[in-house]
Structure 1
Amino acid sequence: MVSILLTLPVLLSGCATYRMHEAREKSGELVGANIQDLVQSVGIPDKTMKVVNTGGDSDRMVAQWNFSNSDSALDMTLILLDIKVGGAGKCSMTATVDRWGGKVEAINFPQAHADSIGSDYNACEPLVSEAITHMPRTPIDPKFDAFTLVGAAK
C-alpha cells in the first residue's frame, strides 16, 4: 500500500515534467509561436525586458509570466517526504522573443526543477496546458515590433 502511495505522486510529477519539456522543444507547440498568441492564451506578461536592442535583426526580448496555485489534488506528509501533487506551488515561465515579428525562440521555466516530487513543475503544468490548448496560431507579421509589449506589464 505504501509503495502505491509513493508511486502515484512520482508518476503524476512525471506527467508535469513531460509537458514542460514538450513546451521547450523546438518542434513543440510554444517555440515558434507568435508572442501575440502566447499573450492571448496565457495573459499579459508580468515582466518584459529588452535583451538586445541594436535596431537590427538580432534584437530580442524576454517576457516572463508568474503563476501561483495553492490548490493541490494530493497534499500529504509521509515520514520525511512532503508531497504535493496536482499543481500547487509557484511557476515562472519566460519566453525569448524576436523583436521583429514576435516569434518565440525559446521557452524556459527558471524556478522549476524536476529533481523532486514536490517540484514546481507541477505548478507550471496548468499554465503550459492553457498555452498549448488555447493557442490561436495566427501567422507571424514580420513588421510587428514585439518591443511594443515592453513596459506594458507593470
Structure 2
Amino acid sequence: MQRMTIPFALVFTLLTGCSAMRTHEARDPSGQLIGSNVLDLVQTVGIPDKTMKLVDSNGPNDRMEVQWNFSNSDAALDMNALVLDLKVGGADKCSMTATVDRWGGKVLAVNFPQAHSDSIGSDYGACEPLVYEALEHNPHTPIDPHWDAFSLAGK
C-alpha cells in the first residue's frame, strides 16, 4: 500500500494540474478569450444563462456581465468511505462569467466565481469542458465597434 501512495499522489496532481492550467489560460489577459468577441463565446459554449448590465449610460464605458453555468456529474474517481466523500476529476458545478464591453462585445475579463471546491480538484475539473470548448473552438469573429452587446440581454 505504501508503494502506491507516491505514484497515486503524482498522477492525481498531474490530472488536477491539467484542468487548472486551462482555467488559468482562459483568465490570462494575453490569452485567446480576453479581447475576443462575446459572440465567439456564445458560439462555442452556448447561450448565456444570465446577463446583467453593469453600466448603462449609453456611453463608451458601458459594460455587461455574462454568465454560463455548467454541471458535470461524471467523476473519474468517486469514493465514499465513512465520512469521506471524495470526487476526483471534474464532477461538480462551474460558473464562467465574462465582463463585456457594450460597444462591439469585446471580452474584457473571464472569471470562474462560483466553481465549487467541496471535492479535490473539482473547482477546476468541473470547468474544464466549458473552458476547453471556449479555447479550442473560438472562431475569432472580428469586433464591430457599432454592434450593441446589450442586445444579448434584450435591451
TM-score normalised according to structure 1 size: 0.89
Q: Is the 8 A contact 1:34 1:104 kept in 2?
A: yes
Amino acid at match of 2:135: I
Pairing partner for 1:46 from 49, 64, 80: 49
**Equivalent in the alignment of 2:61:** 58
CA distance in 2, matches of 1:129, 1:151: 28
Give how far 1:73 is off: 1.7
Paired residues, number: 152
Unaligned runs of 5+ in 2: none
Question: Structure 1: any 5+ residue segments left out of the alignment?
Answer: none
User: Residue by residue, what CA displacement relative to the aligned partner does 1:102-137 show, whole Å, maximum 9, x if unpaired?
Assistant: 000000000237797243211001100011111111
Range 26-35 or range 81-90, more displaced? 81-90
Matched to 1:72, the amino acid is: A
Partner of 1:146: 149
Rate the CA distance shift 1:53–1:96 in 2: closer, same or farther, 3 A: same
Identity of aligned residues (%): 66
Instruction: Give the CA deviation at 1:87.
Output: 2.0
The alignment partner of 2:150 has SS state of helix
Aligned residue in 2 for 1:110: 113
CA contact (8 A) 1:9 1:117 kept: no
Deviations 1:11-66 (A, max 9, x none): 21111111111100111111111001110000000000000011110000000000
> Greater Rg, structure 1 or structure 2?
2
2:45 counterpart letter in structure 1: V
Q: Does 1:23 align with 2:26?
A: yes
Say if 2:37 and 2:142, in contact at 8 Å, map to a contact too. yes
* Cα distance change, pair 111–88 in 1 and its aligned pair in 2 (3 A): same
Q: Which amino acid aligns with 2:29?
A: K
SS in 1 for 2:122: coil
Letter in 2 for 1:3: I
Q: TM-score, normalised by structure 2?
A: 0.89
Task: Find the counterpart in structure 2 of residue 96 from structure 1.
Answer: 99
Q: 1:23 to 1:146 in 2, by over 3 A?
A: same
**TM superposition shift of 1:76:** 2.7
Aligned residue for 2:75, secondary structure, equals coil
- The answer to whether the 8 Å contact 1:9/1:83 transfers is no
